[in-house]
Each structure stands twice: as C-alpha cells, then as structure tokens.
Chains A and B, each alone.
Chain A
Amino acid sequence: SQKIEQNSEALNIQEGKTATLTCNYTNYSPAYLQWYRQDPGRGPVFLLLIRENEKEKRKERLKVTFDTTLKQSLFHITASQPADSATYLCALGMNTGFQKLVFGTGTRLLVSP
C-alpha cells in the first residue's frame, strides 16, 4: 500500500542545534517533494521544493535532501531558534498533469531556548 511517513513524535532540541526531520515513503514515484511549515490554527506555508533529479537544496538555514533510492527526504534546520518551533509537513508531488500533493502527517519541532 502507499504510505508517506513522518515521525509522529515531537522533536525537542536546544536552540542553536541542528534539527533533522525525516520523510519516508513507499509505493510512490514522486516527481518532486516539498516541505511546508504549519503553525497552530494556520495554513501550511511553503518552504522548499526538491525535484527527483536533485540530491540537495538549500535556502538560508534550511537544507533538504532527496534520495529516490531510499525513498527518503531529510529536512535540516541549522542554528535552530525558538521561532522555528512548528509542525513541518512533507508533501510528494505527482506527475498527474496538475499539482496533486500527498502530505505526510507532519512532525512537531520544539526548540528550547
């Protein structure tokens, strides 16, 4: 069956450390993968997109890797800050002729001062 999995347990880290979140999937062949941030009571906000032929993407303190062999993406936040505390969602993008996204359940990140 098709699955997209993110660690359901919250990730607690100390300010200044690097947070690493994982997204694994099975029985999908995504053309691209996206990461979103979602704060309580708000809609998701797009952060980064990485395509199937890309290994790594960076944006400021954010880094995403995409391994289509392992069927896994890692999302890193370096020099984390309390303001980074949120739920982070990964989403698979399919080649369906339109942007059909399949979302994971998200991982909650808590950065302590």
Chain B
Amino acid sequence: NAGVMQNPRHLVRRRGQEARLRCSPMKGHSHVYWYRQLPEEGLKFMVYLQKENIIDESGMPKERFSAEFPKEGPSILRIQQVVRGDSAAYFCASHPQGGKETQYFGPGTRLLVL
C-alpha cells in the first residue's frame, strides 16, 4: 500500500510565476491536510479538504493561495505570483474517514523562489 505521495519533490520558480503542488493521499483516505514548514519553524496548518470540499482554510493566506481536492485525481495546492517568502517545504497529510487522529504525511515539496 503506497503511502502519501507528493510531487514534485523539489520545485524552483521565479518571482511572479505559479507553483502547483500535488498530493495523492493513501489509498482509501478521503481527508487531506496541507502544512507549510518554514526554515527553523514548526509545521503550520494551512487547509483541510475532503473530496470536492474545503472544510477549513483558516491557515491559508487569503491571496494567491488556493487548494482543491477533486473527485478524481490528486489534491492541488496552487500558489500564484510566488514571492521569495513562499520558499518553504509544503507537506500534505491524509487520514481515512473516521481516522483515529493519526495523520500520514507525504515526503513534502520543497519550493524555492528565486
């Protein structure tokens, strides 16, 4: 059973470009979380999604950031017009319906904005 998959693992963008980060949860998992980890900081919750629904996006910046989890395919975290401050590691995590509080994390995408 494959774990949570994220791609790309590394992404380099120039200021003003768009970044698209993908997350495929574990098989059978219908809940996805996105976190951001800045250097020397803890993981910060960004958004929680279920299939076709955003449940809580209280941790996501209001502008330039969006997330989706379509009925088919991976969850996407999209950052428009990236700035240097967006450079960070972005992790997604998943758990099944009725999961017992354990989140399974992917390997992360390291975004570098030049």
Q: Which residues of A contact B (CB under 8 A)?
A: 4, 32, 34, 36, 41-46, 49, 89, 91, 93, 96, 98-106
Contacts and interface: CB of A to CB of B under 8 A. Distances in A.
Main secondary structure of the interface of B (DSSP, over half): strand
A48 to B, nearest CB: 10
A-B pairs, 6 with minimum CB distance: A43-B105, A103-B42, A103-B43, A105-B42, A44-B105, A46-B102
B103 A99 contact: yes
Contact of B101 (A49, A103, A105): A49
A45 B103 contact: no
B108 A43 contact: yes
A100 B57 CA distance: 11
A99 B4 contact: no
B69 to A, nearest CB: 14
A106 B4 contact: no
Nearest to A93: B101
A91 B103 CA distance: 11
Nearest to B102: A46
Contacts, number: 56
B29 to A, nearest CB: 12
20 contacts: A32-B101, A34-B102, A36-B105, A42-B108, A43-B105, A43-B107, A43-B108, A44-B43, A49-B101, A89-B42, A89-B43, A93-B101, A98-B55, A99-B99, A99-B103, A101-B45, A101-B103, A103-B35, A103-B44, A104-B42
A43 B40 CA distance: 15
A98 B49 CA distance: 10
Contacts of A41: 107-108
A101 B103 CA distance: 9
A3 B73 CA distance: 37
Contacts of B63: none
B45 A45 contact: no
B34 interface: no
Nearest to A90: B42
B95 interface: yes
Given A42-B108, A43-B105, A105-B41, 15 more contacts: A4-B42, A34-B101, A43-B93, A43-B108, A44-B43, A46-B102, A49-B101, A49-B102, A89-B43, A98-B56, A99-B95, A102-B45, A104-B42, A105-B40, A105-B42
